[in-house]
A and B are shown apart, each in its own frame.
Chain A
């Protein structure tokens, strides 16, 4: 159980293009989803926390107009990298947390990530 699907797994596009990444919880409802960015051989940096039906909470230094997050349902959150440039190239990973009656101590389950390469 607790499977998170992320699509696409890899995308290569030209500079100036907008790219949408989807994150789905397949067998559970996720009120909260998280988006991370990982640079080569480095740790994951939290970009934003996404809550169903409300605006995402962005971490300091993350441009909300650059990285648009939509969490329209309990099983889907999307990250759109607008007008992408080579410096946006990275590995983006989403996670979702199982919500079980408000106990609040469930771990995050991660998607397999999206390798974004901007030419």
Chain B
């Protein structure tokens, strides 16, 4: 079975500072990796994904994540955060076969203050 660990439940940071949200996963087979963002009372929006190929993936709003197979990690980073980045961030994995059900981490709340 797959599992995802997000050790930080909350990460406070000042605006324009860099941030890293940590994600580690466990799986005995190949998986796909995702980061989703959730704003209050809304569903999840896909931020970025790793399926194969280049281990560094980027989103259109400045976030990036790097797949590290040896460390089984998929940490999310942004060099300079904005107030509007305040949200809940979920890391997720899925098998690359079958229904590809998503297994989510417990989420990290990013709090950006001025």
Question: Which residues of A line the B interface, CB within 8 A?
Answer: 4, 6, 32, 34, 42-44, 46, 49, 57, 91, 93, 95, 97, 104-105, 107-113, 115
Cα A79 to Cα B103 with chains together (Å): 20
Cα A42 to Cα B106 with chains together (Å): 6
- Asked if B63 CB lies within 8 Å of chain A CBs, one says no
Query: Which of B42, B44, B46 counts the most A-chain CB atoms under 10 A from its CB?
Result: B44
Question: Which residues of B line the A interface, CB within 8 A?
Answer: 32, 34, 36, 41-46, 49, 51, 90, 96-97, 99-107
* CB–CB B105/A105 < 8 A: no
Cα A43 to Cα B89 with chains together (Å): 10
Query: 6 A-B residue contacts at CB 8 Å?
Result: A6-B43, A44-B44, A95-B43, A109-B46, A110-B36, A112-B42
Q: What A residues does B103 contact at CB under 8 A? A: 46
From A57, A91, A110, give the contact of B45 (CB < 8 A): A110
Cα A97 to Cα B94 with chains together (Å): 13
Cα A111 to Cα B42 with chains together (Å): 8
B82 to chain A, nearest CB (A): 22
A-B contacts at CB below 8 angstroms, number: 54
From A43, A46, A57, A104, give the contact of B107 (CB < 8 A): A43
* CB–CB B106/A104 < 8 A: no
From A6, A42, A49, A107, give the contact of B101 (CB < 8 A): A49
Q: What B residues does A91 contact at CB under 8 A? A: 41
* CB–CB B43/A97 < 8 A: no
Cα A18 to Cα B30 with chains together (Å): 41
Cα A84 to Cα B22 with chains together (Å): 37
B101 to chain A, nearest CB (A): 6
* CB–CB A107/B34 < 8 A: yes
Known: A34-B101, A34-B102, A104-B100. 7 other contacts (CB 8 A): A46-B103, A49-B101, A95-B43, A108-B46, A108-B102, A112-B42, A112-B43
